[in-house]
Amino acid sequence: MPLAARTAGGNSRCKQRSCGFQKPMSLQLHYREAGDPTAPPLILLHGLFGSSANWLGIARRLAADFRLIIPDLRNHGRSAHAMPMDYPVMVEDLLALMDRLGISAAHLCGHSMGGKVAMWLALQHPERLERLVVADIAPVSYSHRFDAIFDGLQGVDLSPEATRQQIDQQLARWVDDAGVRGYLLQNLLRIDGEWQWRLNLSGLQAALPELLSFPEVGGQAFPGEALFLHGSCSDYVRESYRPIILRHFPFARLRMIEGAGHWLYAEQPDKFTALCCSFFSADGGC
C-alpha cells in the first residue's frame, strides 16, 4: 500500500483514524497507518511535545517493508486529553490499540518519552513485542528541565490576528533553537479562526515528574532483541547508563549516530533508517 493514502478527511500521506476504548478512562487514541498491510507491523512512538506527524519522513522510508502504525500518545496530537499521564497508563493505551487492530505482536520503535513507553511495554508484556528500537533515551530518571518550553507555549500571544511567523518570533524569547521551535509549532493549529495548542499543556506539566522518571522494574529483563540508538551530540544516553540498560535489556545493542542530537531520526534520517532496517531485517524487515 503506498504511503499516500485516503483519509476520512481527504488526502494525506497516511491513513488517519481514531480508536475508542475504556483503558483506564474513555479515550480516543488517534493514529496514522501506512505501508504494506500484509507486512510485519511496526509501531512508531513519538516523544514529549511530539505527535505522529514527527515520524512521516521515516515512514516514507519504511513504508515498502512494514505495516506502520503511528499513534498520537495521550495528551498529544489528535488524541484525547486525559489524566493520569504515566508509563503504565500509556502502555495500556497502546495495548488497547493493538488489540483493536488485531496485532498480537509488533516491532516497536520509540523516541524519548515514546522510548520509555516502548521499554515499559517490553518489560511488562514481552509476548506483545518482536524487536525493540529505543531512540536516545534510557530506563533512568532524568533531571532535564522544560520550564522554558512550558513558559513559552503558555506565554505567547495567540491572538486570532497573529501569524504563525509572529508566534514563532514570540516563542524565540524562551526557546532560541529554531529546530526545537519548529518541532513545538507542529502542535499549533487554527480552529474556527482561533489558534490552539493540540498539547494538553497543563496536564503534561503536572505529569512531568512521572515522565522524567521510569517506573521501578526490580529484576525484570526483556528476553528479546533490542537496539538502543543515541546521538553523538546528545547527553540523554551516557556511558554510565550502559549497565542499567543491559541489566533490563541483556540482548541489547548500543549504537551511536554521529552528527545527531536528541532528535536523531530527524537530524540523520538516512543513518537512522539504515540502522533500524538492518536490525529488523532478521525478522523479515527491509
**Spatial separation of the C-alpha atoms in residues 193 and 211, rounded to whole Å:** 33
% of the chain with per-residue pLDDT over 90:
86
The reply to whether 253 and 129 lie within a common domain is: yes
Global confidence as pTM: 0.90
CATH number reported for the structural domain that contains residue 246 in this entry = 3.40.50.1820
pLDDT, average across residues 254-275:
96
147: left (phi over 0), alpha (psi -120 to 50) or beta: alpha
Pairing mode, strands 15-22 and 10-12 = unpaired
Which of 204, 234, 249 is at the close of a domain? 204
Same domain? For 101 and 44 the reply is yes
Which is catalytic among the residues 79, 112, 230, 234? 112
Q: Are 132 and 261 found together in one domain? A: yes
| Residue-wise burial string across 112-136, b where 16 or more C-beta atoms lie within 10 A, e elsewhere | bbbbbbbbbbbbbeeebbbbbbbbb
Catalytic: 112?
Answer: yes
Same domain membership, residue 177 and residue 36: no
Question: Given a cut of 70, is residue 19 above it in pLDDT?
Answer: no
Q: Write out pLDDT tens, residues 32-67.
A: 999 999 999 999 999 999 999 999 999 999 999 999
Residue 243 clears pLDDT 70, i.e. is over it? yes
Residue 185, pLDDT score:
96
Task: Determine phi and psi for 201, rounding to 5 degrees.
Answer: -65, -45
Average pLDDT of every residue of the chain: 90
What's the pLDDT score for residue 3? 38
pLDDT tens digits along 93-150: 999 999 999 999 999 999 999 999 999 999 999 999 999 999 999 999 999 889 999 9
For residues 136 and 155, state if they share a domain: no
pLDDT score recorded for residue 17: 60
Boundary (domain end) residue, out of 204, 222, 250: 204
Q: Are residues 138 and 59 in the same domain?
A: yes
Q: What is the pLDDT of residue 21?
A: 39
Examine the domain organization and report whether 154 and 70 are in the same domain: no
Query: From CA 29, how far away is CA 71, in angstroms rounded?
Result: 7
Residues 107, 168, single domain; the answer is: no
Residues 227 and 154 in one domain: no
Please indicate, yes or no, whether residues 199 and 251 belong to a single structural domain of this protein.
no
Same domain, 105 and 167: no
Tell me the residue range of the domain where 135 lies.
5-142+213-283
Which residues, other chains included, contact 54 with Cβ-Cβ below 8 Å and sequence gap of 6+?
46, 47, 111, 183, 186, 265, 266
Strand pairing partners for 253? 227
Q: Give the least confident one: 4-8, 107-111, 254-258, 261-265.
A: 4-8
Structural domain count, the chain: 2
Same domain flag for 41 and 123: yes
| pLDDT confidence of residue 95 | 95
Q: Is 262 a catalytic residue?
A: yes
